[in-house]
Amino acid sequence: MRLIRRTITIILILLLCNTLLIIKADPMLTGATLALVAMGGLFLLIYHIIPGRISGSVPKEMTIRMQILYGGCELVRMSIICSVIEVIICIIASSFVPWNIMILNIVISFLILGSLAIAGMARIIIISKQVGIGKKVLILLLWWVPFVNIILIYQVCKKARLECELETNICMMDAAREENQICKTKYPILMVHGIFFRDWQYFNYWGRIPAELVRNGATVYYGNQQSSLSIVESAKELSRQIQGIIEETGCGKVNIIAHSKGGLDSRYAISCLGSAQYVASLTTISTPHYGCAWVDNTIQKAPKPLIKWVEKRYNKVFHKLGDAAPDFMGGIRDLTVERAKEFNEKVLDQEGLLYQSVMSQMKKARSGRFPLNVSYRIIKKSQGSVNDGLVPIESAKWGSYLGILTASGTRGIGHGDMIDLNRENIAGFNVREFYVSLIAGLKEKGL
């Protein structure tokens, strides 16, 4: 059915593009042709508005945003297909059609097909969240450069089409399992951020993950500790947050999902600050339980004035962003191997509480953005260790180890990818679905 509708659409667009050639071929058809032009113009207007529904079926689960984006891809696709056919038509017709009519016909075709391409690319540039700003700028600057524009259009449309497919698949899965509420755990989820970030209202540290968990039945809270403090101080803030959730909801316990240093903060709050009775499980994501040797090396080798300068600037900036008393070096020092050893000797696992961990792996430096691409090379060279750009694999294992996550191809999954930091769809790894499965597993365990 979709093929038939697209074929009819192509025929109608080409008839509109070649009105002059039709009239030239048989002047007796002028009246009918003008009527066709009027109807074709109306069709073209409607097609610009709802291209996806006219030339291809749109799943009912597809959101309005995805329908607009899908329509943009459809407009560009049809523009390219019709342009190729139109070139063939013009080459054939040029042998018997006067040059002045031929040129005018080409101009009309260019305007019609160009309008489709421009409307489609405008939709993609405005709506797509997966097409990077760099690609969007290049399209705007180089659309007129032959061959370069074709390559850019192909790359941008491919990215946008994959975005449509993934988002629609997620919507369809959510709709299919809506009644099951697979993430509706016995105890609410407490998501604890890592170092150098905060739980801001308008920029979620966990990207698109919490919204997906809520859609599948989860109740989600956040750690709300400051961006950089020593583990002890962060744990105190986290312990107060846990107590507040218990008092507010009467839920009895929480399931903690902690990323990076947040896992260490959580362990200390559980083992040393009396929060064990309020925690059902702790899942650490890319947490450096045994420290990061590259942090030791950086502290030792970096010029002391530089460290002081960075510390002062960081503390000043994050104080303005909401931290009461940010402590850049306090957080950094607790990530060294020596401090980690002391920490693990003191902070012992509590009985009756599920501890589990998971880690991701970058496959090359280019898999991550700055500064992960730099730190990946440092860890790889100095320790010869597989890592995620910040944490070596062997440092992340704690409790029941759920394994190493990676993606298809040569990209891998970086430290920030595990919290959907860049809101990027990665081929072979759906971060939102990973967390849905993780929380569903807690539900199955009765937690």
The pLDDT tens digits for 23-33 are 776 666 566 66
Contact (Cβ atoms closer than 8 angstroms) between residue 125 and residue 139: yes
368 lies in the same domain as 425: yes
Q: Among 153, 174, 195, where does a domain finish?
A: 174
142 and 223 fall within a common domain? no
Same domain, 28 and 82: yes
Q: Is the pLDDT of residue 65 over 70?
A: yes
Q: Same domain for 272 and 411?
A: yes
Q: Which two tokens stand for residue 357?
A: 């961990």
pLDDT at 375 over 90: no
- Per the structure, the count of domains in the chain is 2
C-alpha of 100 from chain center: 51
The pTM of the whole model exceeds 0.95: no
How many Cβ atoms from other residues are within 10 Å of residue 384's Cβ? 8
Strands (E), 223-375: 254-259, 279-285, 354-360
Same domain, 210 and 354: yes
State the CATH number of the domain containing residue 377: 3.40.50.1820
Q: How far apart are CA 253 and CA 272, in angstroms?
A: 17
Tell me which amino acid residue 98 is.
P
Residues 161, 190, single domain; the answer is: no
> How does pLDDT run across 130-166, given as a tens digit for each residue?
998 888 999 888 888 888 888 999 999 999 988 888 8
Tokens at residue 393, please?
Answer: 């694999």
Of 253, 279, 277, 251, nearest in space to 266 by CA? 279
Domain hosting 331: range is: 182-444
184-224 pLDDT, tens digit per residue, is 999 999 999 999 988 886 788 999 999 999 999 999 999 99
Q: Using CB atoms within 10 Å of the CB of residue 393, give its burial: 0 to 12 exposed, 13 to 18 middle, 19+ buried.
A: middle
Sign of the torsion formed by the C-alpha atoms of 222, 419, 434 and 239: negative
Task: Please identify, among 144, 174, 204, the residue that sits at the C-terminal boundary of a domain.
Answer: 174
Closest of 101, 132, 78 to residue 25, by C-alpha: 101
Domain boundary among the residues 174, 201, 227 is at 174
Q: Which residue has the higher pLDDT, 52 or 89?
A: 89
Both 164 and 198 in one domain: the answer is no
Reading the block at residue 72, the tokens are 């943009």
Could you give the CA distance from residue 34 to residue 24 in angstroms, rounded to a whole number?
13
